[in-house]
Amino acid sequence: MVTYIIRRLIWAVVMLSIVSIITFGIFFLVPRLAGATPEDLAARYVGRTATEQQVKLAAEQLGFNDPLIVQYGRFAKGIVAGADYNNGPSVEHCPAPCFGYSFRTRLPVWPDLLDRLPVTISLAIGAAVIWVIAGVATGVVSALRRGSFFDRAAMGVALAGVSLPIFFTGMVSLVLFSYGLHITAPGNVYTPFLTNPLTWAYDLLLPWITLAFLYAANYARLTRAGMLETMNEDYIRTARAKGLAERTVVLKHGLRGALTPILTIFGLDFGLLLGGAVLTESTYSLPGIGKYAIDAIGYQDLPQVMGVVLVAAFFVVFANLVVDLLYAVVDPRVRLV
């Protein structure tokens, strides 16, 4: 088990390094191949009103004239050892892991990401709890009552949940529940959990439900399909023949068997969400990683985009590792070697 985890962690580091190389290449190699000069890249850092001489100086100082491998080495060194930046009257040290400075806000990217992470984690955890409970429960009941009114209604709602985009359900929910009925918090509010857990939950309730609606729908359909397949297995018949209570048969034998694919999907979904629930955070103006990402893309702020990509990649890799470990818990046939 320990060997397995160490091996996976090493692979995670290798994977993140590959992601960083690809990301760096997309932002710095591809533009060069398309004909962009070091001055074109530097122009973003000095604004539209800079003179040609100022742009050239900036390109030199930012190291855009160096070979790409040197530039990547500098970027990677910043992540592991930090880097120094000139902010005008003084030179400032950006401690490791330094993902560079945003050329729009002139602030280091890493503290920004750390600052926004609790919002995204709060959103993801709350929504995940709701969607797993609601989705799996609905899926189980639908499978057990296949063809019933409940089954048809639940799957209809699930189809709507998968089909309706979050920016639509989010906006409608805000107008209806926050600005019409005044029973939920408006957009653009977030209270840290440690400041006031109740307010934290109240502020995030609507985003949680909106996000969970999308995922719960998917999980209900997946669980239903899994349960239908599992409940026809021989070992379920054996369990019933042994005289086990139906609840035990369903929850301990049936659901457990159907959970493995759910767990796989959950790992991916949850990891991706930790990397930023872009639409939900944008709709509700929550200052999380997703909103940060979409703003960074809008402003073409490369250091910020690269930071987000690497953080998102980290969470996907990490979540998959956790899911693989959980396989052994859910399915006794799985052994981690």
Partner 1 sequence: MQKTTRLGVAALGALLTLGLAACGGGSGSSTPSSSGGGTAAGGTGTFNAALTGVVDPSDKKGGILKFANAGDWDSLDPGDTYYGYSWNFIRLYGRSLVMFKSAVGKEGNELTPDLAEGLGTPSDDAKTWTYKLKAGIKFEDGTPVTSKDVKYGVERSFDKEVFPDGYTYFNDFLNWPKDYKGAYKSKGVNTDSAIETPDDQTIVFHLKQPLSNFDYFAQLPATIPVPADKDTGAKYKEHVIATGPYMFKTNEIGKGFSLVRNPNWDPATDPNRKALPDGYEVSTNVNADDIDNRILAGDLDVDIAGTGAQPAALGRILPDPTIKANTDNPTGTRLWYTSINGNVPPLDNIDCRKAVEYAADKTTLQTAWGGEFAGGQIATSLLPPAIPGHEDFNTYPPGADNKGDLTKAKEALTACGQPNGFETNISYRAERPKEKAAAEALQQSLGRVGIKLTLKPFPQADYFALYAGKPGYAKDNKLGLAMNGWQSDWPDGFGFLQQIVDSRVIRDTGGSSNVSVRDPEVDKLIDQAMEQTDANARNAIWTQIDKKVMDDAYILPNVWAKALLIRSKNASNVFVNDAYGMYDYLGMGVK
Binding positions for partner 1, 150-169, rule CB under 8 A: 150, 153-154, 157
Which residue from 203, 226, 266, 307 is in contact with partner 1, where contact means CB under 8 A?
A: 203
Residue 65 in the binding site for partner 1 (CB under 8 A): no
Long-range pairs, 52-59, Cβ under 8 A, ≥24: none
Q: Binding to partner 1 (CB under 8 A): which residues in 294-333? A: 295, 298, 300
**Helix, strand, or coil (residue 56):** helix
End-to-end CA distance of the chain: 6
Q: What is the C-alpha to C-alpha distance for residues 209 and 240, in angstroms, rounded to an integer? A: 37
- What are the helix (H) ranges across 284-301? 289-298
Shortest Cβ distance from residue 230 to partner 1 (Å)?
A: 17
Q: Does 58 bind partner 1 (CB under 8 A)?
A: yes
- Radius of gyration of the chain measured on its C-alpha atoms: 24
- Contact between 22 and partner 1 (CB under 8 A)? no
Q: Could you say which of 2, 3, 33, 49 contacts partner 1 (CB under 8 A)?
A: 49
Q: Which stretch binds partner 1 (CB under 8 A): 9-17, 97-105, 261-269, 314-322?
A: 97-105
Give the residue, chosen from 83, 113, 128, 216, that forms a contact with partner 1 under the rule CB under 8 A. Answer: 216
> Of the ranges 1-9, 68-76, 147-155, 264-272, which one interacts with partner 1 (CB under 8 A)?
147-155
- Say whether 149 sits in a helix, a strand or coil: helix
Which CB sits closer to partner 1, 20 or 122?
122
Could you say whether residue 334 binds partner 1 (CB under 8 A)? Answer: no
Tell me the C-alpha distance between 103 and 106, whole Å: 5
Specify the stretch interacting with partner 1 by CB under 8 A; choose among 15-23, 212-220, 270-278, 321-329.
Answer: 212-220
Q: Does 138 bind partner 1 (CB under 8 A)?
A: yes
- Residue with Cβ nearer partner 1 (208 or 315): 208
**Closest CB to partner 1 among residues 9, 183:** 183
Question: What whole-number distance in Å separates Cα of residue 154 and Cα of residue 144?
Answer: 13
Q: Is 130 in the site for partner 1 (CB under 8 A)?
A: yes
Distance in angstroms (rounded) separating the CA atoms of residues 310 and 22: 11
Name which position in 20, 38, 46, 316 contacts partner 1 (CB under 8 A): 46
- Please tell me the distance from the alpha carbon of residue 4 to that of residue 60, in angstroms, as a whole number: 46
φ, ψ dihedrals at 34, nearest 5°: -85, 0
Q: Check binding of 228 to partner 1 (CB under 8 A).
A: no
Number of residues that bind partner 1 (CB under 8 A): 80
CA dist list (Å): 183 to 65, 176, 205, 281, 333:
57, 9, 10, 20, 48
Among 79, 109, 206, 249, binds partner 1 (CB under 8 A): 206
- Using the rule CB under 8 A, give the single segment among 12-20, 37-45, 70-78, 308-316 that binds partner 1: 37-45
For residue 233 the two structure tokens come to 């297995």
Residue given tokens 């239903």 in the structure block? 224
189 by Cβ neighbours in 10 Å (0-12 / 13-18 / 19+) ranks as: middle
Q: Which of 32, 65, 125, 199 lies at the binding interface for partner 1 (CB under 8 A)? A: 199
Euclidean distance between CA atoms 322 and 317, whole angstroms? 9
